[in-house]
Copies of this chain bind each other. A is one copy, B any other.
Amino acid sequence: MHSRVRAQLYCAPSAVQLLKNAHLKIATMKPFSPPDPNFETRVRSSAGMQGVLSTLGAELTLVRAGEAHLTAPFDMRFSQQDGFLHAGIVTTLMDSACGYAAFTLMPAASRVLSVEFKVNLLAPAKGQGFRAEGRVIKSGRTLTVCEGKLFSIEEEEESLCAIMQATMICIRDK
């Protein structure tokens, strides 16, 4: 033990040493502990107040601690010029999924707002319908970082169309 301490005084552990170490423990994702046990009711009630979700025919198909999914049919009313779902509507679905994923972990007397997001469009959003997934990556007291995915659904097969990296903020009621 003594020599180890001395070694640390004289040389920084090399990157390779650090990594080759057989006992390297990968940080395990702890399961989320939502402070509000009624988070699902709260999320569904908030989603019910989003005009845009009902206009898009979108439905919350999964709500669990740190995760929310939304599904919506394709609709030409929301297309871009080539007949695909517009990138902004793709964003709408992923942003709502991420926002509600974050909201599951916020306290009862709070609201959620999007601070910012970044979207990469991987393939044209064409299909009969779409499924958006939002997942919490890091939940903090004020800010929550999420990742979103959008899948198109065609002939019962899903394919990844877009990904999102987003920051949500918790606004506590006074």
* A9 in the interface (beta carbon within 8 A): no
A108: Cβ under 8 A from any B Cβ: no
Q: Is the CB of A163 within 8 A of B137?
A: yes
Complex: chain B residue closest to A165, CB-CB: B165
Most chain B beta carbons < 10 A, residue from A61, A87, A163: A87
- Taking the complex as formed, is A36 at the interface, i.e. its CB lies under 8 A from any CB of chain B? no
Complexed CA–CA distance, A173 and B2 (Å): 35
Contacting pair B61 A80 (CB below 8 A): no
Q: Are A77 and B58 in contact (CB under 8 A)?
A: no
Contact of A158 among B16, B24, B120, B163 (CB under 8 A): B24
Number of chain A residues close to chain B: CB under 8 A: 79
User: Are A156 and B88 touching (Cβ within 8 A)?
Assistant: no
- Going nearest first, the 6 A-B pairs with the smallest beta carbon separation are A88-B92, A15-B71, A51-B79, A118-B118, A52-B86, A49-B81
Say if the beta carbon of A153 comes within 8 Å of chain B: yes
Please indicate the chain B residues that have their CB under 8 angstroms from the CB of A5 in the complex.
none
Closest residue of chain B to A128, judged by CB? B13
- Having A86-B95, A89-B92, A145-B163, one finds 19 other A-B pairs with CB under 8 Å, namely A12-B128, A13-B129, A16-B59, A16-B71, A18-B71, A21-B156, A24-B158, A26-B158, A46-B81, A51-B79, A51-B86, A87-B92, A88-B94, A91-B91, A115-B167, A116-B118, A116-B121, A122-B138, A137-B163
Assess whether A131 is interfacial by the CB under 8 Å rule. Answer: yes
